[in-house]
Homo-oligomer: A and B are copies of this chain.
């Protein structure tokens, strides 16, 4: 009962060969306008759609991009997901979605991607063992780490210019006055948290501003709990910089809990510019990650590598910008 309309059926109805039908659906092939019309008419009548699997089998290519995500719970990622799918769709690619709970993408998931012979892979917020990457390299499948950096020279990476951003954030907060600042870190094994820390710390030290770092985990609850811990000390710091927005919101709520006024008694700044940051309840000052540009960079690279594989390794850092609201 299944869909049985094949190129052969169309060929018969149109009075041409199967090859000609194939050529009509294959971009760049030579077909006369006459047969093209005949074929399309017959195809329309029968409801023909080329079988992607037969196609991929013979071309050894697919129109599928593997998109691996970690931490969908962060409101930042739905946007990323949406933009990727929209962008890939424009180029005729579909998205095979893989969710991983681990920091490092698992063997199982890698095999899925390889089994489906994906045309390219995007890994957001997670990393990958070098040995696993080798499997993609040897199959000439281009790969991008999105928003995660490993040692340079190992992966093509697209992320925000965290170092420059956190320096500017530090300078901005210094400009607002106050002598001691707190960095609320995300998971320590992420390049994003480490880099944001580095730029922030370095700039504060150069300006002789006292600096404390508190470990946290990129979650709202983490930001909340960590801030409560900060407040156990006697003195309220002059400013907080949280490694992402959602922690900043948690921090803000913790401060309110203690009736500490923001921005009068202390200031707080986040990172990402998620939707919630602009909500009246928060009005969070933050650093906008230029998702569109980051996605664009990623897609462009993948498409060019799909077109002709070079194995190019590079780190692309896209600049974001400060969004000033009412918490600083």
Contact = CB atoms under 8 A, between A and B. Distances in A.
A29 interface: no
A115 B51 contact: yes
B97 A85 contact: yes
A50 interface: yes
A15 interface: no
A60 B4 CA distance: 10
A115 B82 contact: no
Nearest to A81: B72
Contacts of A89: 99, 108
A259 interface: no
A238 interface: no
B99 A85 contact: yes
A189 interface: no
A53 B57 contact: yes
Contacts of A285: none
A1 interface: yes
Interface string A28-62: 00000000000000000000011111101100101
Nearest to A109: B89
A177 B96 CA distance: 51
Contacts of A52: 115-117
A114 B72 contact: no
B53 A81 contact: no
A54 B3 CA distance: 17
24 contacts: A2-B140, A3-B138, A3-B139, A49-B114, A49-B115, A52-B115, A52-B116, A53-B53, A53-B54, A53-B57, A53-B62, A64-B96, A72-B82, A73-B79, A82-B99, A89-B99, A89-B108, A94-B112, A94-B116, A95-B96, A97-B97, A249-B281, A256-B280, A257-B280
A5 to B, nearest CB: 10
A218 interface: no
A86 interface: yes
A224 B115 contact: no
Contact of A98 (B3, B51, B53, B85): B85
A186 to B, nearest CB: 17
A301 interface: no
A274 to B, nearest CB: 10
Contacts of A79: 72-73
A72 B78 contact: yes
A72 B108 CA distance: 26
A222 to B, nearest CB: 13
A211 interface: no
Nearest to A112: B94
Contact of A78 (B78, B257, B279, B280): B78
